[in-house]
Structure 1
Amino acid sequence: MAWTEFTYLFVIALFCAGLDAFMIGANDVANSWATSVSSRSLTLKQALLGAAILEFLGAVLVGARVAGTIRNNIIDIRVFNQDAGVILLAFTCVTVGASTWLTIATFNGMPVSTTHTVIGAIIGVGIAVGGGGAVRWGWNGVAQIIASWFIAPGVAGGLAAIVFLLCKFCILRRKNPKKLAVLASPIFFFVVPCVLTTSIIVKGSPSLNLDELPPNQTAAAILGTGAVCCALSVLFYLPWLYVQVIRKDYTVRWWHFFYGPLLWRRQPPADAEEKMAVPDYYLGHHNDKDVFNPTPAQDPEAMHRANSDDNVSGEGKEITVDQLTEQHPATLAAVEEQYSSATHDRYGRPLPPKYRHYEGSAIEPWNAVIVLRYNALPWLIHSLTAGVRTDIHKAQATQGASEKEILRLRRVHAHAEHFDNEAEHAFSFLQVLTACTASFAHGANDVANAIAPLTVVYSVWSSAEFPSSREPVPIWILVYGGAMISIGLGIYGWRMMAVLGNRLTLHSPSRGFSMEFGASITVVLASYLALPVSTTQSITGATLAVSLCEGTWRSTNWKGFAWVFMSWVYTLPCAGLISGLLMAIVLNAPGWGTDVGIRP
């Protein structure tokens, strides 16, 4: 029977858990897919659709059917003294604290670990209830989380660097890289599925208990999956890739993949050598070398110097629009034409619709149709779909940056080596496969960050009893969490992607594949060795290591990585302060009939 006196706490927890899942999609999931979009292996719409489906299916089909009352045993459950009302309030505060911090972090473009967010919120509640002694500060508690800030990036970075250097020196820098990339694809399609299958077994299937399989069955499942994928790649993927990359047949479409061996007989068009059969993965970066000696139009500081009469007598002069027109008439005309038909602003965001003006107040009856039909409805549609229509590559290059910062970022990209475009194409599908598997595992495993506190609140509210250490998760909560993750990614995931990917270093399919594959191997190794890792921190460490494989520290945006690390450090104390202060205020607030303790 429901504990009706505290229905309002359940409603608050339900709303905040939904907001938490929404921000997990916008922050954590967007962080995972930023590499695939940044390398142009997927368009933003393809990534959003794939992530939404896989996250939802992972959460609902194989998501955790049981939620821990105290996540990772970070605090001692005995501090609640078997008081159902106090633990109901505590986990309501956990959902409020976690969702509030995730909202603040996502709004400010801070990629944070959602696991550490909910743990930080639980720490805050534990201190509010039982003081500092209620928290396990040792290696089995908080110390392990702090260590993960260095363990996860370090391990993932080392593995990603090994993968990328093997690809770089064994394939990409060889005499005929595209041919080698095609021939090596079956090997990749054996190794990669083996690692991804292991990742699913040890991390991404809580409800199926696959991690409890005997070693011989686990090995058979892993090697069998790799062998099947390798065989299928030889039959279907290899001829399709060969026709695209070697024969440069630009008429091949994705459905020709199912033609399999028949594609070996397919002849390319007569003008195949004149057209590009694969996407240009370095689009927008071909002229990056120009930033070392920028023209006045590229560098605001150079423009000022060029306008200063040989830099002697013209100090303080500012160039005018008329002067710019005289100096660069063709360029200015092109810019004006571009802006007159523009659909996006300079930051890559879709332009809002043109709203209608009306006379008088918006609440007047004769203005109701204009406000609702021509203003409110277009605004709602624009707000819900703008995230899908954002130009992520433009946003990564310009989002919130000054002209000087934009030029600095281009100089970072200029230090990255450009490999053969057709050879890069061979890694594109592998990167998509890695991202999809990681997303499915993430939906199955990390949806618990949003729904575990809600499950505890629902259990106490519906039974008015103190919860057990492991609570069953109703299917409707899994559906709710999975749906909100998908919606959050589609509506606001662009915000996180704009500050990652190419914002940290230049991305391409070979680099993105190495980053994601290195992070996946890290998850597998950490699960077997009981090391604390976060997928967010793993992909960040892998990105940093691959950028350093260029052979120079100048290919890395160190300010961007410093911002990411600062986000990790802030997560535990900020989430803990929000939930802890709220818990302390509500728990210790005076009520009707409170003894004020006044003595003569």
Structure 2
Amino acid sequence: MPNSNAKPRWQTLDTDLHRISRVEVANSYVARPLLAPGIALAFMAVAGLVAAVLFGQANGGFIIIAAAAFGAYMAINIGANDVANNMGPAVGANALSMGGAIAIAAVAESAGALLAGGEVVSTISSGIIDPMSVQNSHVLIWAMMAALISSAMWVNLATWIGAPVSTTHSVVGGVMGAGIAAMGLGAVNWATMSAIAASWVISPVLGGVIAAAFLALIRAKIQSQDDKIAAARRWVPILVALMAAAFVTYLAVKGLQRVVTIKLEIALLIGMATGLLVWTVTVPWVRRKSEGMENRTRSLKALFGLPLVISATFLSFAHGANDVANAVGPLAAIVHAAEFGDVTAQVPIPTWVMIIGAFGISFGLFLFGPKLIRMVGRQITKLNPIRAFCVALSAAITVILASWLGLPVSSTHIAVGAVFGVGFYREWQSNRRNQPGLRLAREEYQRRKLVRRSHFMTIIAAWIVTVPAAASISAIIYLVLTAFA
């Protein structure tokens, strides 16, 4: 007689299947961290294959193939680190979802690189190394290879520790380190390096001051008024028009070099005309949008959401047009030197090189970008659409001022400095409003800090060591490459 308490066979089988399914789920969690690096390596391999098809039979073909793979590696790291500065504030203010920000940034960055990226790029990255001091094309090739690898490695490390750094400064440090290793300290243009070092301080401070000033203006002219809706109808169109004028001027000066060269004075006139046009369109839009709004600050945030999304898009387009060429500059220099065997101050950027840069940025942003986007947008200080709008507006205006003054600035430093400026202004305003003239206890002061000091110190330290760290890594890589070449 069969045992009535025995479990049916199908239950035993179902238990086994359940165990197998749990193993599969566990394996998926183990494999998930390896997916993004795997896709990145696949893209680097594809870049190398493209170079092999184009130059596999040419002299120096192997060098170009290796440089293409490392150029793709650099582009991925730009997408993972640099783009966060453009999209972080919009995501932190909840004006954009993470997926929407990544999609917009990928399209805008790629469009900026492919449609408006520079036709030529400096082989020695903005005159850091005198081209006349380079003895031959072989020295240039290995120096640029070392600069490419070292700058990519440094940006990768910075992304891993959660520090937004300037990729342009990383390339500058890489070129300087390789140049010193190849030709000595005398090959470096120290006047240019001094100007770049000065921008480390000027960029974030100027961006922070301008962002804080606009936040103070909005608080005084809109948020502190008895009739906030009427004040918003008067001031929001002016602020949006100013943003449009700033971004059009910014794009004309920095982002359309491949299409047409525009002087700053002409760009300012174009920007003013655009601002006036945007003001006439924004006035009825704000009036219609504000109908039925409650007379409180929280309601006003809805008026800044759409302008913030548009500003983030413009920032990404301009970044793709301006900074991608700088990042793939060493790759373009290697391709030109290997193909023609000469050393020139500027070289054309091949279309396939710019495509690697554009697609690499998109892959890096999609695979690794969310970490830095969250850090910039949410973990430094709390942002809302009004504060994030001030950050975006500050970024555009600061770049224009820097171009007018002839200062080499970093868009990364400006944007992050603007986030710090907004946070420190809120902190100062909070302490001033709550306890005027009263010295706070240390514990109470710590409680009222609105900027995370740990992130502040990490980012500042990363900025300070970017050029010397990239230079040191580059010098070591150059010596290793030339020892085995």
Greater C-alpha radius of gyration: 1
Q: Which residue of 1 aligns with 2:206?
A: 155
Structure 2, unaligned runs of 5 or more? 1-53, 432-447
- Give the deviation of 1:167 after TM superposition: 0.3
**CA deviation map 1:526-565 (0-9, x unaligned):** 0011122111111122122211222247222122111100
Question: 2:170 is paired with a residue of what secondary structure?
Answer: helix
Q: Which residue of 2 aligns with 1:435?
A: 312
CA distance in 2, matches of 1:444, 1:54: 9
What is the aligned length? 412
* Corresponding residue to 1:477 among 334, 343, 353: 353
Q: Does 1:445 align with 2:322?
A: yes
**CA deviation map 1:217-249 (0-9, x unaligned):** 4344222211222222235x3355135xx258x
Question: 2:301 is paired with a residue of what secondary structure?
Answer: helix
Q: Does 1:36 align with 2:36?
A: no
Q: Which amino acid aligns with 1:584?
A: L
Q: Which residue of 2 aligns with 1:562?
A: 457
CA contact (8 A) 1:182 1:426 kept: no
Structure 1, unaligned runs of 5 or more? 249-272, 274-418, 592-600
- Larger relative contact order (CA 8 Å, sep ≥ 6): 1
* Corresponding residue to 2:162 among 109, 125, 136: 109
Q: Which residue of 2 aligns with 1:164?
A: 215
**CA deviation map 1:565-587 (0-9, x unaligned):** 01111211221122211111222
The correspondence of residues 53-64 of structure 1 with structure 2, limited to 5 A, is: 53-64=107-118
The correspondence of residues 181-220 of structure 1 with structure 2, limited to 5 A, is: 181-212=232-263, 215=265, 217-220=266-269
CA distance in 2, matches of 1:507, 1:212: 35
Q: Does 1:96 align with 2:174?
A: no
Q: Which residue of 2 aligns with 1:512?
A: 388
TM-score (norm 2): 0.81
Question: 1:41 is paired with a residue of what secondary structure?
Answer: coil
Q: Which amino acid aligns with 1:224?
A: A
* Corresponding residue to 2:481 among 571, 575, 586: 586
The correspondence of residues 364-379 of structure 1 with structure 2, limited to 5 A, is: none
Q: Which residue of 2 aligns with 1:372?
A: none
CA distance in 2, matches of 1:582, 1:190: 49
Q: Which residue of 2 aligns with 1:230?
A: 279
CA contact (8 A) 2:147 2:171 kept: yes
**CA deviation map 1:399-438 (0-9, x unaligned):** xxxxxxxxxxxxxxxxxxxx72211111222222222211
CA contact (8 A) 1:128 1:580 kept: yes
Q: Which residue of 1 aligns with 2:408?
A: 532
Q: Which residue of 2 aligns with 1:132?
A: 185
Question: 1:471 is paired with a residue of what secondary structure?
Answer: strand
Question: 2:257 is paired with a residue of what secondary structure?
Answer: coil
**CA deviation map 1:187-209 (0-9, x unaligned):** 22321111111111221122133
CA contact (8 A) 1:10 1:92 kept: no
CA contact (8 A) 1:60 1:444 kept: yes
- Give the deviation of 1:212 after TM superposition: 3.3
* Corresponding residue to 2:102 among 35, 48, 52: 48
**CA deviation map 1:366-386 (0-9, x unaligned):** xxxxxxxxxxxxxxxxxxxxx
CA distance in 1, matches of 2:372, 2:259: 32
Q: 1:33 to 1:113 in 2, by over 3 A?
A: same
**CA deviation map 1:80-135 (0-9, x unaligned):** 21x11221222122211111111111122121100100000001110111112211
* Corresponding residue to 2:299 among 408, 422, 428: 422
The correspondence of residues 315-334 of structure 1 with structure 2, limited to 5 A, is: none
**CA deviation map 1:307-326 (0-9, x unaligned):** xxxxxxxxxxxxxxxxxxxx
Q: Which residue of 2 aligns with 1:460?
A: 337
What is the alpha-carbon root mean square deviation over aligned residues? Answer: 2.1
Q: Which residue of 1 aligns with 2:445?
A: none
CA contact (8 A) 2:229 2:290 kept: no
* Corresponding residue to 2:129 among 70, 75, 92: 75
Q: Percent sequence identity over matched residues?
A: 30
CA distance in 2, matches of 1:521, 1:7: 44
CA contact (8 A) 1:151 1:532 kept: no
- Give the deviation of 1:179 after TM superposition: 4.1
CA contact (8 A) 1:18 1:450 kept: no
The correspondence of residues 300-311 of structure 1 with structure 2, limited to 5 A, is: none
Q: Which amino acid aligns with 1:206?
A: Q
Q: Which amino acid aligns with 1:212?
A: K
CA distance in 2, matches of 1:427, 1:178: 13
Q: Does 1:549 align with 2:444?
A: no
CA distance in 1, matches of 2:462, 2:188: 22
Higher mean displacement: 41-50 or 220-229: 220-229
Q: Which residue of 1 aligns with 2:11?
A: none
Q: Which residue of 2 aligns with 1:22?
A: 76
CA contact (8 A) 1:145 1:532 kept: yes
CA contact (8 A) 1:179 1:423 kept: no
CA distance in 2, matches of 1:220, 1:582: 47
CA distance in 2, matches of 1:518, 1:111: 18
The correspondence of residues 200-279 of structure 1 with structure 2, limited to 5 A, is: 200-212=251-263, 215=265, 217-235=266-284, 237-238=285-286, 240-243=288-291, 246=292
Q: Which amino acid aligns with 1:186?
A: P
TM-score (norm 1): 0.66
Q: Does 1:503 align with 2:376?
A: no
| Structure with the higher fraction of residues in helix conformation | 2
Q: Which amino acid aligns with 2:472?
A: L
**CA deviation map 1:37-70 (0-9, x unaligned):** 0011111111111111111111000100101111
- Give the deviation of 1:451 after TM superposition: 1.4
CA contact (8 A) 2:204 2:414 kept: yes
Q: Does 1:176 align with 2:52?
A: no
Q: Which amino acid aligns with 1:102?
A: V
CA distance in 1, matches of 2:476, 2:270: 49
Q: Which residue of 2 aligns with 1:488?
A: 364
- Give the deviation of 1:459 after TM superposition: 1.1
CA distance in 1, matches of 2:236, 2:274: 16
Question: 2:290 is paired with a residue of what secondary structure?
Answer: helix
